[in-house]
């Protein structure tokens, strides 16, 4: 596995090696020692999985505040997504900037997102299955969201605001200017 810095160095792409033959392929999808050598020593404690049937489903931008903040390691098991991490760390030189990466089941790449980032994705195909590791348990009291289509952030979503399939929570989320200091 290779760990590659993105435009925001704390967010990392993980490119997996696949070993194939006539039967298919094999890949190590998680190795704590390899990730630790690349600066990711996150102790993941929970795995989550989501399924989104329609193309154009947007989930996010979600995060948890301290003391229950979550780092995430995202991977697509079926289909494809545009995966996005937005820096919401006050005082960060990349505050309000984002990383957007296409993840799909075919290539198997992953995205590591540390604490201090809002995370979301848009399905690029129907019937998408996403799995991700987190380093803290879900806490409704600490759960927050950032408005997915805030023009101040300028994420190039592959779906219009009218066509996006959203939860009520994501429709009502505050914009970056109204978020306040969360990290």
Instruction: Please tell me which residue in 119, 132, 138, 142 is annotated as part of the active site.
Output: 132
Query: pLDDT value at position 137?
Result: 98
Q: Model pTM greater than 0.85?
A: yes
State the average pLDDT over residues 124-138.
98
Question: Which residue, among 139, 136, 144, has the nearest Cα to 120 in the 3D structure?
Answer: 144
> What DSSP designation does 34 have?
H
State the average pLDDT over residues 158-171.
96
State the average pLDDT over residues 65-90.
98
pLDDT in tens, 87-97: 999 999 999 99
Q: Is the peptide bond before 70 cis (omega within 30 degrees of 0)?
A: no
State the average pLDDT over residues 109-117.
98
Is 132 marked active-site?
A: yes
DSSP characters over 109-123: -EEEE-TTEEEEEEE
- 70: its two tokens: 């979550």
Residue with tokens 């160095």: 9
Cα gap 138→94, rounded to integer Å? 26
pLDDT in tens, 143-158: 999 999 999 999 999 9
Q: Is the peptide bond before 67 cis (omega within 30 degrees of 0)?
A: yes
Cα gap 126→104, rounded to integer Å? 12
Is 142 marked active-site?
A: no
Instruction: Please tell me which residue in 62, 98, 112, 119 is annotated as part of the active site.
Output: 62
Strand residue runs (E) in 27-174: 46-52, 58-64, 72-78, 80-87, 98-104, 110-113, 117-123, 128-134, 143-145
* The dihedral sign for the CA sequence 145, 151, 152, 154: positive
Cα gap 100→157, rounded to integer Å? 9
Task: Give the Å distances, CA to CA, from 45 to 67, 75, 138, 183.
Answer: 15, 16, 11, 22
């Amino acid at each position: 596995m290779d760990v590659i810095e993105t435009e925001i160095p704390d967010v990392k792409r993980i490119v997996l090696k696949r070993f194939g033959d006539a039967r298919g392929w094999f890949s190590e999808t998680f190795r704590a020692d390899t990730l630790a050598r690349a600066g990711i020593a996150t102790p993941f404690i929970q795995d989550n999985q989501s399924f989104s049937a329609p193309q154009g489903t947007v989930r996010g931008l979600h995060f948890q505040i301290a003391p229950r903040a979550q780092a995430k390691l995202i991977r697509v098991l079926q289909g494809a997504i545009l995966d996005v991490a937005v820096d919401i760390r006050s005082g960060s030189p990349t505050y309000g900037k984002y990383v957007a990466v296409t993840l799909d089941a075919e290539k198997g790449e992953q995205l590591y997102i540390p604490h201090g980032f809002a995370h979301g994705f848009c399905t690029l195909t129907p019937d998408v299955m996403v799995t991700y590791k987190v380093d803290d348990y879900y806490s409704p009291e600490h759960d927050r969201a950032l408005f997915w289509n805030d023009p101040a952030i300028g994420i190039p979503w592959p779906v219009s605001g009218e066509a996006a399939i959203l939860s009520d929570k994501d429709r009502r989320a505050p914009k970056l200017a109204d978020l306040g200091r969360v990290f």
